[in-house]
Structure 1
Amino acid sequence: MNRIKTDICVIGAGSGGLSVAAGAVQMGARVVLIEGHKMGGDCLNYGCVPSKALIAAGKQAHQVFKGGFGVPPVQVTVDFAAAKDHVQSVIETIAPVDSQERFESLGCTVIRDYARFISPSEVQAGDTVITARRFVIATGSSPLVPPIPGLDSVPHYTNETIFDLRERPDHLLIIGGGPIGMEMAQAHRRLGCAVTVIEGDRAMGKDDPELAAIVLENLRGEGIEIAEGAKAEKISGSDGSITVETTNGTFTGTHLLIAVGRKVNLDKLDLTKGNVAHDRAITVGDTLRSTTNKRVFAVGDCAGGLQFTHVASYHAGIVVRSAVLGLWWSKATSRHIPWATYTDPELSQVGLTEAQAAEKFGDSLTTVRFPYAENDRAIAEGKTTGLIKVMVAGGRPVGVGIAGAHAGELIGMWAMAIANRQKMTAIANTVLPYPTLAEINKRAAGTYFTPKLFDSPKVKTIVRLVQKYLP
């Protein structure tokens, strides 16, 4: 049995784990990085990267089929396998950044095996026992496959297997109307598949209903069937003919994708032996430190809360400050965390939704809206479907939602404002190049000040006095 003593032992080489390992080792800490599956984790291999690559392929096909601006539409045959080649090429291009070779070159000891605790201060990975001053659990999450009767005997895909499918499905059934389900629905529809989304509650149910409706209307307009309030009760069939019986009808297709959520990867860790409290995730405080074993931290999905790659990276920064630099007062918050769904149009959010803000701030809340249809760049590019909503309390934005083209990019300005507790004047005073979609943000801020400037009797009185007596 080999034995290693180290400062930091990181379990999991996904986004959060890699960020911790890179930061810690480059600051001078001794780091052991353990990964039992693929370097880069879910994001690189099964999640953000391949999904956005497939979305890009679908967008290219859609533009050709749609035409516009004097360019006629073209009817072509989509090479579905070539689209999947593009997905694989993107993964392979990014992979070296997350590779074992790179992290060994930084000075990390990389062990390719699954880790499990054998005591509160030791983990074992293969034939190696690692004793560490600090452990960081960053094992991420996996697709949740619900116990629907019949599912275990019917062929189905998850986000971990759908990108390996190289033959175009004639009719893809998707159980789950959240971000993964809706992104995959549109991508496959644009690549020539019939698509039915089956959702037990409300599609895009975690998003602002007004903004989600904008996205869903467009998806339905592209021919995607979205069945809401349709809880799957029974699944039957075989390759090429699968039937899903629900509380709101029966649906038949050729292929089935399960996209109902995620479960945190904790099963292999033997957390009880490590004295690490947990339920569906590691039990941590706002410092991301285990409540029962002070040697242990958790980042990303393992820490509970929002399950996004950028949250894992954010958590990594908190843990590096705490476990490497000793800044124990570093704390994580979700107040300023943005997220986006990369449908077309996109939907993004940071801070509170309108409903959440109304509940918290009551009558002191002001909600302002500005439509894409009044932005000159959006008009020029035919991307006028969309809306921004800004929730303001005490002169500061407390939440922003955007449905429209490049919403995932536009939300960045508001994420910065909320993170730094800036007032609406910070956005209103910003000079932006014309014409850009980013002006939507500035116009929304201007809309907030409009009644204060132009509908105020006090302001009108002051202006009349100034004009009367101004030399």
Structure 2
Amino acid sequence: MTYDYDAIVIGGGTAGLAFAVSAVSLKAKVAIIESNKFGGSCINSGCIPSKAFLHSAHVAHQIATAHELGIDARIEKIDLSTIMSRVNHIVDDDYEHTLEKYKKLGVSIIDGRGELLDNHSVKVGDNTYTGEHIIIASGSRPVIPPIKGLTDVPFLTNETIFDMKQLPKNLTILGAGSIGLEFGQGFEFLGSQVSIIDMVPTIFPKDDPEVSGFMERIFSSENINLYLSSSIEEVKQQDGKLITTIEKDGKKIDIIGDAIFASLGRMPNTKNMGLETIGVELDPKGYIKTNAFLQTSIPNIYACGDVVGPYKFTHMANYQGFTIAKNIILKEPTEIDYSEVTWSIYTKPEVAHVGYTEQMAKEANLFGDSIVVNFERTERAVIDSDTGFLKLILDKDNLIIGATLISEKAGDMINTAAVAIKERLDPTFFITLIYSFPTEISIYKYAGLEFLKKVYKEDQRKKIQYKFIE
């Protein structure tokens, strides 16, 4: 049978784009159907604009703390309108560049909402397109929970916050996940009084306990109000203020704000696409079920990105899109592998993780030991007033299976641990590397030295010669 395209992608976000660029490079004929703004949430309302916003916030923080370095500097004015104008300019440039790039590559861009008619046909408006394969990469959207009164008052999400013109004196954030924590700290640096509310007992609840304790101390020192183990009872508007009523420890508390930012997670865009009509199976939360090759319950239909999970990261969407291209264009059966997935939260300092936490390793009966090294061991961290730690998780054979980093540069540095996990290395590998000096990444060397202290007896250690043992 002849089809219009080798592959039709529903969704022009990161996952769909990653597949498309790989497929057209291999001479496949590809169409992308997009009903919203091309480039998806990362370019338009996620990674790119949020990090552009945080850059301004971090500069403000540097100025405010410059006196600690002997520099007398003052902020005369915070102009949120100008900050957001810069953010949106970066987004627009990235959008235009991405759109033009894919057109030049020969990808057909189809504007509109795609609806599956069968396993090879997609309807867009009055037109129907056919493809040998179909890739669902329709992304996700913010969760708007049924909180009493929330939809009756003005509130912000990550899709609307970059339209703000005035800095709120008091900002209430619903949700202490990565988005809430990044924006909360960012607005605090710009001068807002920030309150963050969540039902979880700690921030970073899925990470090693050292992380939550460390970061809660940071947030408290910055006068950010954390209302944890708290349920949101009601939101209302009164006398020009937005009042969020919570229950904590059996008591009702009213939190008064000038703006509310809802960051309570994301949900997949899988409704009204014809998925269930043609037999594509979804899980109870609406995510598309896939096998290890990212095939859905219909073999020629694949899915990737936020509609699949389990990690809603841009780099994960890229990885999944490339993997599907290998499977259907190169015809090289490749299973997805999540053992070295890195994630980073761009607070100050950053928090990054890869592989197993200690608790995860214990639950999987893999845990052998852990190594924790503080950044005060590295000269560069002392010079730059950086603070944090590296924690390595080892299995019973002393191979690295997980790592957590807190540092100003954690997002960059975590990739070293990811390589160690992939190559099945033990911590002594880090001692054999020659590190530029002074750099914070030499923290890995000190982790290797700590490992030696644990595994070798004193008389054995004296016999071992390593270039970097001091």
TM-score, scaled relative to structure 2: 0.93
Q: Which residue of 2 aligns with 1:244?
A: 244
Q: RMSD between aligned alpha carbons?
A: 1.7
Equivalent of residue 438 in structure 1, options 438, 441, 449: 441
Structure-to-structure mapping, 1:59-78, within 5 angstroms: 59-67=58-66, 68-78=68-78
Q: Output the amino acid matched with 2:275.
A: L
Q: Name whichever of 72-81 and 49-58 sits farther off.
A: 72-81
Gaps of 5+ in 1: 464-471
Query: 2:300 matched to 1:295?
Result: yes
Quote the Cα distance in structure 2 between the aligned partners of 1:294 and 1:406: 42
Q: Which residue of 2 aligns with 1:226?
A: 226
Quote the Cα distance in structure 1 between the aligned partners of 2:231 and 2:340: 33
Aligned partners of 2:369 and 2:398 also within 8 Å: no
How far did residue 355 of structure 1 move?
Answer: 1.3
Q: Output the amino acid matched with 2:306.
A: D
Q: Which residue of 1 aligns with 2:289?
A: 283
Query: 2:59 matched to 1:84?
Result: no
CA, structure 1 residues 50+372, in 2 after alignment: closer, same or farther (shift >3 Å)?
same
How far did residue 427 of structure 1 move?
Answer: 2.3
Q: Which residue of 1 aligns with 2:114?
A: 115
Runs of 4+ in 1 over 6 A off after TM superposition: none
Quote the Cα distance in structure 2 between the aligned partners of 1:212 and 1:346: 13
How far did residue 88 of structure 1 move?
Answer: 1.2
Q: Output the amino acid matched with 1:287.
A: F
How far did residue 54 of structure 1 move?
Answer: 0.8
Q: Which residue of 2 aligns with 1:381?
A: 384
Q: Which residue of 1 aligns with 2:275?
A: 271
How far did residue 343 of structure 1 move?
Answer: 0.2
Equivalent of residue 352 in structure 2, options 323, 348, 351: 348
Q: Which residue of 2 aligns with 1:193?
A: 192
Aligned partners of 1:135 and 1:295 also within 8 Å: yes
Structure-to-structure mapping, 1:25-44, within 5 angstroms: 25-44=24-43
What are the Cα deviations for residues 243-287 of structure 1, in whole angstroms up to 9, with x where unaligned? 111111221111100001000011131102332111221110111
Aligned partners of 1:390 and 1:399 also within 8 Å: yes
Quote the Cα distance in structure 2 between the aligned partners of 1:147 and 1:159: 18
Aligned partners of 2:428 and 2:451 also within 8 Å: no
How far did residue 220 of structure 1 move?
Answer: 1.7
Q: Which residue of 2 aligns with 1:467?
A: none
Q: Which residue of 2 aligns with 1:424?
A: 427
Q: Which residue of 1 aligns with 2:102?
A: 103
How far did residue 420 of structure 1 move?
Answer: 2.9
Q: Which residue of 1 aligns with 2:451?
A: 448
How far did residue 159 of structure 1 move?
Answer: 0.5
Q: Which residue of 2 aligns with 1:6?
A: 5
Quote the Cα distance in structure 1 between the aligned partners of 2:52 and 2:422: 30
Gaps of 5+ in 2: 465-470
How far did residue 458 of structure 1 move?
Answer: 4.8
Q: Which residue of 2 aligns with 1:211?
A: 211
Aligned partners of 1:10 and 1:34 also within 8 Å: yes
How far did residue 361 of structure 1 move?
Answer: 3.5
Q: Percent of counterpart pairs with the same letter?
A: 29
Q: Output the amino acid matched with 2:272.
A: K
Quote the Cα distance in structure 1 between the aligned partners of 2:6 and 2:428: 46
Quote the Cα distance in structure 2 between the aligned partners of 1:386 and 1:95: 36
Q: Output the amino acid matched with 2:136.
A: I
Secondary structure in 1 matching 2:404: strand
Aligned partners of 2:11 and 2:138 also within 8 Å: yes
How far did residue 211 of structure 1 move?
Answer: 1.2
Aligned partners of 2:168 and 2:192 also within 8 Å: yes
Q: Which residue of 1 aligns with 2:139?
A: 140
Q: Which residue of 2 aligns with 1:55?
A: 54
Quote the Cα distance in structure 1 between the aligned partners of 2:313 and 2:160: 20
TM-score, scaled relative to structure 1: 0.93
Q: Which residue of 2 aligns with 1:157?
A: 156
Q: Which residue of 2 aligns with 1:323?
A: 328
Quote the Cα distance in structure 2 between the aligned partners of 1:145 and 1:432: 47
Q: Output the amino acid matched with 2:234.
A: K
Quote the Cα distance in structure 2 between the aligned partners of 1:420 and 1:12: 34
Q: Output the amino acid matched with 2:393.
A: M
Quote the Cα distance in structure 1 between the aligned partners of 2:65 and 2:460: 52
Query: 2:170 matched to 1:171?
Result: yes
Secondary structure in 2 matching 1:447: helix
CA, structure 1 residues 106+238, in 2 after alignment: closer, same or farther (shift >3 Å)?
farther
Secondary structure in 1 matching 2:277: coil
How far did residue 120 of structure 1 move?
Answer: 1.9
Quote the Cα distance in structure 1 between the aligned partners of 2:362 and 2:301: 38
Q: Output the amino acid matched with 1:322.
A: N
Aligned partners of 1:410 and 1:441 also within 8 Å: no
CA, structure 1 residues 187+458, in 2 after alignment: closer, same or farther (shift >3 Å)?
closer
Query: 2:364 matched to 1:365?
Result: no
What are the Cα deviations for residues 88-140 of structure 1, in whole angstroms up to 9, with x where unaligned? 122123223321x3212111111011101011221111222111111111111
Q: Output the amino acid matched with 1:431.
A: I
Secondary structure in 1 matching 2:112: coil
